[in-house]
Amino acid sequence: MQKTTIFFLLISFCSFSQSNHLSLAPNEFDKAIKLANPLHLIDLRTKGEFEAGHIKKAIHIDYLRADFEDYIKSVYSKKTPLILYCQSGKNSVDAASYLAELGYENITILKGGFEKWISNSKPYTSSKKTFEPLGFISNDNYYTLIRNNKWVLVDFYADWCGPCKKMAPILFKIDQENKELNLLKIDADKNTSMTENLEVSEIPTMILYKNGKQVWRHTGLISEAEIKSKIY
């Protein structure tokens, strides 16, 4: 009986040690925010992402800032319960591990990040004078669309990109003329995790899928005829 108890305690300790934070889905994360008193909700994203839209009462501390460690230590004690979120969830996991190494003991993160928060229709606010609804596409939605259609042409663009504006009517025309083709336009500025996952470093970038598999990829301006030649 004693050996069994010791073994159980050892397993429990190992399971706890492997996790240095609590990861919560949007609904549970929302409850954690409301129950926290005082609330230390930290947005780890870039300044631009924070200003475009963030969870109410969040404090902006860019995880990639050079003095992140020194700043966190100067503001929060190691006993302070910290609630973190980023864009897609990855940086939150990294930050939680890093903070745990520094000695912080109570860390909660948003599973799936701000994109998951938005996709679950959770409320958010903006620092901009004119509030613009954010539109994110999740990885699940992206790959579901690709799997369920014979041809999918993905266009990564940005509103400020001149070449993107030149390509827009060309891609629209190709989409209208091909009934089997689905054109998926993704704002690179609003879907940073998607651009990272697909290694899109320049815009416009176009990716063509056939029956769920990538068959072509191009960055920059390209003629209508060249794109059509890839759809066979």
Give the position of tokens 């651009």: 195
Identified catalytic residue from 61, 164, 186, 198: 164
Cα–Cα distance measured from residue 47 to residue 62, given in angstroms and rounded to the nearest whole number: 7
Tell me, yes or no, if 161 is annotated catalytic. Answer: yes
Contacts of 145 (CB under 8 A, 6+ apart): 152, 182, 184
Identified catalytic residue from 22, 36, 93, 161: 161
Peptide bond preceding 81: is omega within 30 degrees of 0, i.e. cis? no
The residues with which 50 forms a beta bridge, in sequence order, are none
Residue 75 tokens read as 């503001």
Residue whose C-alpha is closest to residue 171's, from 155, 160, 189? 155
Residue 141: CA atoms inside 13 Å, Cβ hemisphere, count? 12
Question: Within 10 Å of residue 161's Cβ, how many Cβ atoms?
Answer: 17
105: left (phi over 0), alpha (psi -120 to 50) or beta: alpha
Active-site residue list: 161, 164
